[in-house]
Structure 1
Amino acid sequence: MADERAGQRILHVSSAFDIDFPGGITNYVRTLAASQVADGQSVFVLDGGALTDWTPHGLGFAVRGDDATRVDHFSLRSPEDAAKSRDVLQVVRAVRPDIVHFHLTIGLGVEFYRRFSDLGVPYVISLHDYYLYCPRITMMDFTNEDCGGPERAKCERCIGVLDQVDLLRRGARKLSLPLPRIRSSSVTRRNDVIAGFFARASRVLAVSGRVEELFRRVYPDAKYLTSHIGSASALVERPAPTRSDVLRVTALGTLSKYKGAEVLAAIAGRLPRDRVRVRFFGRVDEPRWGRLAEQAGIELRGAYVPADLPGIMADTDVGVMVPVWEDNAPQVVMEFLNYGIPVVATRMGGIPDFVDERNGLLFDHRRPTEVDRAVQFLAAMTATQAASYRERIGRLETPDSHRRELRSVYAASLVG
C-alpha cells in the first residue's frame, strides 16, 4: 500500500476502466488523486484495472482493481452477485479510509449499495453520468433518442424484460431490429436500493446544475451540491493563433450518434466552404458517421493525444460541441474555453453552466430555427471576431481550486 502520511486517508472508487484509461472520468480521478497526494493525503484508487493488489502508481497514489469492478461488457442487468459485493466491501474495510469518494460504480451490484453504509465510513458521490438511475448510462432510450428525463413507467418500459437479456439486446442492435416492449420493475427495485445509498451519503456532488436537477427527480432526499470539476487545461499557456484566410471550426472527441454526428453534419453542410473550414479530431464511432461527415465537407483529422491540443487550438477560431444526450459536464467545452476559443454548443446537460452569449452560442438542436441560428452565427463569424473572444474569455476552475473545495466537503463529512 501507499506510504503512511499525515492527513486523511482517501479512497476513490472508479470502476469499469483502468485509472490510466484516457477517458474524461478517469482523467479527472487521476488528476484529483495526484493533487491530493501533493497536498499530503494518503490516497487509494479502486479502479477497473487488472491489478489485484495495491500497487504504487507513478503519480503517488496506490491503485488496484477487483473482480467486481472489472466490466467485461455493458449490460442492462444490475449485478446480483452478493459475494462479489462483500469482497469489495472487504477491500474498502482493509484500506481503513477516513472517507470514500465514489465516481463510477458499474459492476458493484445492488448488494453493495445496500450494505456499504454498514461500514460506518463517510462517503461522497460524484455524478459524472446517469448510471445511478439509468442503467443505459446516457438517458438515451431504447429508440436511441434522448428520453427527456427519468419517470418510473417510462424507465420500466425502456429497461424491459427482453432488454436485460444481453444476447437479445445485442443481436437486436446489430440487426437494427426493435425488441418488443415488456415492462420490468427491476430498474425500480434497483433504484429503490440506490435511493438509500444516496440518502446516507454525506454529499452528492453534481458536476452541473442540470445533473442535479435530473437526479433530484429520482432521489430527492440526498444532500446535493453542484460542484464543477477542475480542468488541467485551465493552467495551460494559450498559444498565439496562427493566421488563416478562412474561419477554422473545430470539433473534438468522438463522432457518434450521442455526440451529435448528425447535428454537426447538418450545420457543416450549410456553411460556405470558401470561407469556413470544419475539422474533426478524434475517433469515428461507426463508418456511417465518417461518411456523413465527409459528405458535409468535414475534414476528418484522426485521433489526437493531449500533447496535440496546443497545436490544434492555435489553428482553431471556433469550437463546436453538439451532443444530443444530456452530457454531464463535457471536458472538451472546458478545454476550448480555457484556450480562449468561443464555443457553439447544444443546450444539453451541463453545457449551459459554461457557455453563454459572452463566450459563444447555445442552441436547441431539436428546433430547426435554432439550428438556423447556429449556422448563421458561424457563417457570419470572422477570424477577427473570434480573436476578440480570446481576449475576454476567462479561465475555468483549476484542479487545485477544485481540490480545495473537496477538502472542505470532506471535512464537513467527517464531522457529521
Structure 2
Amino acid sequence: MAAADEQDAREHAAALPGLRVLHVMRAPVGGLFRHVADLTRAQAASGCHVGVVADSLTGGEDAARILGGLSPHLALGVTRLPMRRLPHPDDLRIAWRVAALVRELQPHIIHGHGAKGGLYARLPAVLPIFPQPASAPARVYTPHGGSLHFRPDSPLGRIFFTAELIMGRVTDLMPFESDYARRRFSETVEPPRALAPVVHNGLSPQEFAPVAPAPGAADFVFIGEMRVAKGVEDLLHAFAALPGDLRLALAGSGLDEAQFRTLAHELGLADRVAFHPRTPTREALAHGKILVVPSRAESLPYIVLEAIAAKTPVVSTRVGGIPEIFGSQAARLAPPRDPAALAAAMRAMHDMSPQARMALAEEMADFVKTRFTIDRMNEGVLGGYRAALSRTPRLAAAGSAH
C-alpha cells in the first residue's frame, strides 16, 4: 500500500497552476516552520495560490520577519491566530475561525502541519457545526513528529492518538516526512487510511556550499533548542568522558539552558564548554569541527541535513528518520540516552584522520544532494495533492480543473 501511494504521487507530480492551497500550522519556529516556508515558496513558484495560517503567540520577531518575507508569494495571505500547544477549550474557537477562512478562501487543498495544525485543518470536516465551504477541499496532514512523540499509554498520548483516529476518517492525504514517521503512525495509531507517501524534507542548492570551522573553533558543536528531549544532558555526560584537551560549543537557547549550564559546572566542564546564542545554522556550524546531535527523539531534523550538506562531519543518535539521512553510514549512529556510546562515537570521529573525515563528509553530502532537495520535496507533495484529488470522487472535479 505504501509503495503504491509513492508511485501514485510520482505519476501525478506535474505542477498544478492555479491550485489554491492553505497551510495550517501552530508555532512558526523550528523545522516545521522551515518546511512550510520552503514548501510555500516552491508551490507559489509552481503557479499555486498559497496561504498560511500560524500561531500568533510564538515566534517573536523572527517569525514576523520570515512571514513578512513570505507574504509577496502568498496569494491567499497570512493569518495569525492564538493557538495553544496542548489541548485547550479555545481549540474549538480557533477551529471555527479556520473553517470560516476556508469558506472565504475556497482552497482546493487545506494542509495541516503538526498535531494542532492537523486538528484545525480537519476538525471542521468531522463536526458539521462548523461553517462548511461551497465545495469540500482535500484535507492533507503531515504529522512532523507532533503527537507521535507521546507514549500511547500516557494520558496526553491517549488524547492525541484518539484524535488522530477520528481525524484519519476525513484525511485524503498524509505525506510523511520520513519512513520512520509513517511506521510510527501505523504502530501507535493505525495504518493510514489516506494516501501515505514519504516525502523527505529538502534543502536549497546554496546550502550545499561547504562551511569551514572558524579560527579557534571547538572540537565539537551542538546546535539546537536547549531542551531535555534534545539530549544535551547526555552530550555533557559523554563529553566529560573524553580527553580534557577537547572543547565543546553549544549554540542555541531554550527553557532548560540554565539547567545545562549548571550541569556543565558540576561536571567540571566550565573551562571546556562554551555557550553561544542562537544564530543561523551556517554561522553556528563554524563554532565547531564536528556536529553532535544527541537527540532522544526526532522526526527528520533539518540540522542533520544542513550539516551534511555543508560537509561538516556529524555524530548523531539513531532516532526518528536520521538513519534515512545517513543511508549506508547509518551503522555509525549511537543509541539514544547512552552517554557512553555517544562518547565512543564522538571519539571515533575525532580520531579519524582529516583526510578520511573529509572523504566521509563528501560521500554523505553527495547522498543528501540526490535525495533531499526542495525541488524533490515540492514535486512529492504536489504529486500527492493531485493523486488525492484524482482518487477522491468528491474532489475529482477540482483535480480535473488543474
CA-CA distance at 1:43 after TM superposition: 0.7
Tell me how far 1:193 sits from its aligned partner.
Answer: 4.6
Alignment match, 2:397? none
Aligned pairs (5 A) from 1:388-399: 388-393=359-364, 394=366, 395-396=368-369, 397-399=372-374
Q: How far off is 1:324 after superposition?
A: 1.2
Alignment: residue pair count: 350
Q: Which residue of 2 aligns with 1:175?
A: none
CA contact (8 A) 2:71 2:77 kept: no
RMSD: 3.3
Task: Work out whether residues 23 and 53 of structure 2, in 8 Å CA contact, stay in contact via their aligned partners in 1.
Answer: yes
Q: Partner of 1:94 in structure 2?
A: 104
> Which amino acid in the other structure matches residue 357 of structure 2?
A
Relative to structure 1, the CA distance from residue 98 to residue 285 in structure 2 (aligned partners, 3 Å threshold; closer, same or farther) is same
Question: RCO (CA 8 Å, sep 6+): is it higher in 1 or 2?
Answer: 2
The residue that corresponds to 1:144 in the other structure is none
Letter in 1 for 2:52: V
Structure number with the higher helix fraction is: 2
- Going from structure 1 to structure 2, the CA distance change for 1:57 and 1:235 (only over 3 Å counts) comes to closer
1:204 corresponds to 2:174:
yes
Which is worse superposed, 353-362 or 88-97?
353-362
Corresponding position of 1:167: none
2:127 to 95, 102, 115: 115
Q: Which residue of 1 aligns with 2:44?
A: 37
Compute the displacement of 1:91 (Å).
Answer: 1.0
Q: Which runs of 5+ in 2 are unaligned?
A: 1-15, 58-63, 392-402
Match of 2:252 among 282, 287, 291: 282
Residue among 68, 72, 85 paired with 2:95: 85
Q: Deviations for 1:350-381, whole angstroms, at most 9, x for unmatched residues?
A: 21111256388201134566345324414523
Q: Which amino acid aligns with 2:308?
A: L
% same residue: 21
Give the CA deviation at 1:263: 1.0
SS at structure 2 position matched to 1:283: coil
Shift of residue 255, structure 1, vs aligned partner: 2.2
Deviations 1:27-57 (A, max 9, x none): 2211211111111111111222389xx9995
Superposition pairs for residues 2-401 of structure 1, below 5 Å? 6-15=17-26, 17=27, 21-49=28-56, 57-61=70-74, 62-65=76-79, 69-71=81-83, 73-75=84-86, 77-79=87-89, 82=92, 84-104=94-114, 106=116, 111-112=123-124, 114-115=126-127, 120-131=136-147, 138-139=149-150, 147=151, 150=152, 154-156=153-155, 187-188=158-159, 191-217=161-187, 218-223=189-194, 224-232=196-204, 234-239=205-210, 241=212, 248-274=219-245, 276-286=246-256, 287-293=258-264, 295-296=268-269, 297-306=272-281, 309=282, 311-314=283-286, 316-325=288-297, 327-355=298-326, 358=329, 361-367=332-338, 370-371=341-342, 373-393=344-364, 394=366, 395-396=368-369, 397-401=372-376
CA distance in 2, matches of 1:213, 1:49: 32
* CA distance, structure 1, for counterparts of residue 207 and residue 94 of structure 2: 42
For the 8 Å contact 1:283–1:303, the answer to whether it is kept is: yes
Note if contact 2:140-2:173 (Cα within 8 Å) is conserved in structure 1: yes
Structure 1: gaps spanning 5 or more residues: 140-146, 160-186
Partner SS state of residue 215, structure 1: helix
Q: TM-score, normalised by structure 2?
A: 0.76
8 A Cα contact 1:321 1:344, kept in partner: yes
Measure, in 1, the Cα distance between the counterparts of 2:93 and 2:255: 36
Quote the Cα distance in structure 2 between the aligned partners of 1:242 and 1:343: 13
Check conservation: 2:123, 2:167, Cα contact below 8 A: no
Cα deviation for residue 281 of structure 1 reads: 1.3
